[in-house]
Structure 1
Amino acid sequence: MAEVDHETVYFSGRVQGVGFRYNVLQVAKEYEVCGFVQNIPDGRVLVEVEGLAAEIGEFVTAIESRMHGFVRQVERRAMRRAAIFKGFQIR
């Protein structure tokens, strides 16, 4: 199986209960990325995304731009691994 770029991204701030996951899903439709978005118990939103590194970078930047009033911090961890996602979904 071919390796792809992958990022685990954590968004902190007022990111739950404000339509954040739905907006991430809408942004994902504009990019060639696969993965998921989900709320996590500590109040952050987790995005797991894979694709080309440049596409992932633009995708994360677009999320930050669209949700700029709600995001306080973004933590990103990049790696290469075998592709495991099909499409993009809310979990």
Structure 2
Amino acid sequence: MSRIQVIYSGKVQGVGFRWKVLQISKKYAVSGYVQNLNNGKVKLLVEGKDSQVGKMVEEVGTELRNYWYSLERETKLGEPHFKDFSIKEY
């Protein structure tokens, strides 16, 4: 099982970024959330089987490339904490 957190910087708020990530998540057997942060960045936390998590994170990065200019990626240890994928409010 994998847990990957990605923080996206750029024009990622107010452009439908979280909604697009939610739509992408429906293609994969993953759980977690996408959330706007107070500093103008967006946080993505994806958990599930290694292959599913990796593919989703890669697709988000590629499909939404025009919105972000940098990212911070961190792999976290542990079992999944969420039962589905959602948009999380502040």
Give the TM-score of the pair, scaled to structure 1.
0.90
Q: What secondary structure, in the 3-state scheme, does the structure 2 residue paired with 1:81 have?
A: coil
Structure 2 residue 82 is matched with structure 1 residue 85: yes
2:35 pairs with 33, 38, 43, which one? 38
Shift of 1:36: 0.5
What is the aligned partner in structure 2 of residue 20 from structure 1?
A: 17
- % identical equivalent positions: 38
Residue 79 of structure 1, CA deviation: 2.3
**More divergent stretch after superposition (52-61 vs 30-39):** 52-61
SS across alignment from 1:68: coil
- Distance in 2, matches of 1:79 and 1:29, equals 22
Tell me the CA shift for residue 61 of structure 1: 1.2
Q: Which SS does the other structure have where 1:56 is aligned?
A: helix
User: 1:5 — aligned with what?
Assistant: 2
SS in 2 for 1:38: strand
Q: In structure 1, what is the Cα distance between the partners aligned to 2:72 and 2:30?
A: 18
Q: Which runs of 5+ in 1 are unaligned?
A: none
Question: Residue 57 of structure 2 corresponds to which residue in structure 1?
Answer: 60
Q: How far off its partner does 1:73 sit?
A: 1.1
